[in-house]
Structures are given as C-alpha cells and as structure tokens.
Amino acid sequence: MSTPALKKGATPYYEETYDKEAESRRASRLFSIFAVLLVAILLLWIWFHLPYLFVKGVDNPWKWFDRKSDDPTRYLDWLLASLGGVLLYVLAEVAKWKPKIRTKEARFRENTAWYISTVLKGPIIAVVVLWLLTTLELKIGGTNGESGVGVDFANMVPIVLTGAAFILGFYSRVARTQLDEIARFLFRRAWALAQELFEVAPREAKVVFEKQLQFKTDPLADVTWTADTGTIDASGLYTAPKRSETATPGTRVLIRAALRSDPSISGVATVTLVPFKLVAEKTEMVYGESQQLSVEGAPSEGLDWEYSLGTMEGFKYTAPSQQEAEDAGVNEVTITAKRKLKEGEKEEDRKEDVDSLTIKLIPAASPSG
C-alpha cells in the first residue's frame, strides 16, 4: 500500500498524514451519528413506557411501575437505558476532544473503533452487572451484624434499576470494573489466574537469623523470587543471613515474586529478622486457660519473661481469670521473652535480643442449649 502524498498544510501522522480537516469531518460525523442514535433510543424508550403519548387509547403494555422483579422485559429496559448512557458518554468524549484537533491531540480516524466498541460493549456489560446484582442477590454496603447501609439490588423498584443501568452505561469503564469485582468475588481463583495476579504468602513473617521460611504464591504462578537480604531459591525457600552489622534484629527484608512471562506483575512480602522467635499455638485464649509456648532459636543463656497478667511456669503460660482481667481493664496480654543477661551485662546490652507476642483473652463459649 503506497503512502499518500502530503497535502498542503498537513503534518506527518504515523505512516499517513495528519489532516486536520479530515479529522474534523470525522469528529462531526461521529457526533451526528451518536446524537441521532441517542434521540432514537430516547424516543423508543418513551414509546415503550408511555405509548399513550403517541397513540390515544393505548394502554401501557409494560406497566413499568407495577412490573414484577422477574419480568423479562426489564432486560430490554436496562439495555435501552444503558445504551442511552453510553451514547451520552461518547458524545461528551467527542465534544471534549474535537477542539484539540488543531493541536494534533485528537485522532478520530485512529480512535473510531474505540468509540464503536464502547457503544457495543457498554450496554451488554451494564445488563450483565445488574443481572448479577439482582439474580444473585448481592448486596453492597452493610452486612449482618455490622453497621452501615446495605444496598439490596434484588428488591429495588424498577425505576431505580433503570437509573442504575443508565449510570452504568454512562460510566461504562466503571461498569467493567464492577463486573471485574463481582467475578473476583465469585470466582477468586479463576479470576486471579485469568488476570495473572497473585499474592505472596505469608505476607509478613519473622525469621530467625540463618533459619528458613517457605514462601509461595496464591494462586500458584510461575515466578522469579528475589530477596534484598539473605537468599531465596527458585521454589521460594528463603534463608535468613547471619547476624551482622548490616543484618541486625529488626531489619526488614523485602521478598518479591515477579511473573516470568511479565516481570511487571509481581507480589511482595516482608520479613523481619529476629535473634529468636516466640511461638504460641493459639493467639486467643479463654480466661484461665493454659498453653505451652515455644521459642525458635532460643539463646543458650536462657530467657527472662515479662507479662502483665497470668502466670508462667517454664514455657507454660496460664491466662488470668476473667475477674483479674476486668479489674485490670484489659482484654489481651503481651508476653515478652528476653535473653538472660550475661555476667557484667547491662539491660541495654540485650535490648535487641527480645521478642514478644500478644494473646487475646476471650470468655468461654456458653453451653449450647
């Protein structure tokens, strides 16, 4: 295909020419087409809902305000309303960009396909979103047991849903985002795989110096692992570095997993380096309950314990009674393990050799009746 000769006053436009007059004519033509379609859709909508305005003695076949929620005509109603919204949106876009033709910012010849696809896809997406919200009875906002206002689409009156269809059509990109959210809610794993998105697990963790921790992606993905301190192999097994001047207790390490097919898509996790780690099987305990704690990488000097309520016998911690907790005005206890002081050491010498965890105190479950 030969390249057309440059017209007088025209500037290069990719392999063709940027013809301001041609772009202006294309913009005017698009505006006219969309305006005519919008008027036609408006008249069609009025005809369906208010036919007696055009023909005397004709009853309203839709009975708009009395339609049942499962009336199949609602889909056509939504389609017309959302199509009107989409047409109004593309008209606004053409009007916004047409003045920029002379600055060569608007290329209607190049973007005509975008306008057409928006008009075609917008109403379909809007109808699908409303169908999902009403048929599956999804609610946006407050839920059982929580404060807030919930929006129940399944029980909305038809006029409100028609308005929602128009809004979803006008903000067609918002409608596509909403559809994406619904898909992620219903089919989280499939949606993540389709979007090539994933999370790194665990998101945050403590790792003792020179110890290891296995990371993985959820859902599983083919990724490249990197760590800014320590090492991590191809399977996601992280090995913490030795304690040093550059790797001290409390150092935070960023773990990154980048998709091999597209490194710009990645997930991250954070590791905190510690000299030893205090571990509890349960982070919630019933008042008066006991559990055995453990320490990963325990120092040879032994440990000193600090806690505000309850008792410690070796590594066994017993939670306080409910009365003791209520008298102290607390519903959780922080347990701190410190390395024992060596001979001649001061408290500040072991300020980094500590770890702690918090236990939430809860009442015992009432007997089922």
What mean pLDDT comes out for the span 218-238?
93
Pick the CATH number of 199-274 from 3.30.750.210, 3.30.460.10, 3.40.50.12780, 2.60.40.10: 2.60.40.10
Q: Which residues of 330-361 are buried (b: 16+ CB within 10 A; e: fewer)?
A: eeebebbbbbeeeeeeeeeebeebbbebebeb
- 8-state DSSP, 54: T
Taking residue 225's Cβ as centre, other Cβ atoms within 10 Å add up to: 19
Which pLDDT does position 83 carry in this prediction?
Answer: 87
User: How long a stretch of residues is the chain?
Assistant: 369
When pLDDT is averaged across residues 306-315 and rounded to a whole number, the result is 93
The residue among 68 and 175 whose pLDDT is bigger is 175
Whole-angstrom Cα distance, residue 121 to residue 139? 25
For the full predicted model, state whether its pTM sits above 0.75. no
Q: Say yes or no to pLDDT of 239 above 60.
A: yes
Q: Which range is least confidently modeled, 136-150, 191-205, 250-264, 329-343?
A: 136-150
Q: Comparing C-alpha atoms, which of 95, 81, 162, 79 is closest to residue 127?
A: 79
Asked if the domains 199-274 and 278-362 are classified in one and the same CATH topology, the answer is yes
Whole-number Å distance between alpha carbons of 32 and 25: 11
Task: With a cut of 70, say whether residue 129 has pLDDT above it.
Answer: yes
- Give the mean pLDDT of 286-296: 95
> Rounded to an integer, what distance in angstroms lies between the CA atom of residue 232 and that of residue 215?
9
Give residue 366's pLDDT.
Answer: 56
Q: Is 45 helix (H, G, I), strand (E, B) or coil?
A: helix
By the 8 A CB rule, do 257 and 200 touch? yes
Please give the helix or strand (H or E) that residue 73 lies within, else none: helix 73-97
- Where in the chain are the domains? 11-140+150-186, 199-274, 278-362
pLDDT at 195: 55
Fold type of domain 278-362: Immunoglobulin-like (2.60.40)
pLDDT in tens, 92-117: 888 888 887 776 667 777 777 878 88
Give kind and range of the element (H or E) at residue 208: strand 204-208
Residue 147: predicted pLDDT:
42
**Closest to 363 (Cα-Cα) out of 327, 308, 329, 320:** 320
Query: Where do we find the tokens 């007088």?
Result: 8
pLDDT digits (tens, 9 = 90+) for 178-202: 666 665 565 555 555 555 578 899 9
H or E element at residue 126: helix 108-135
DSSP class of residue 275? S
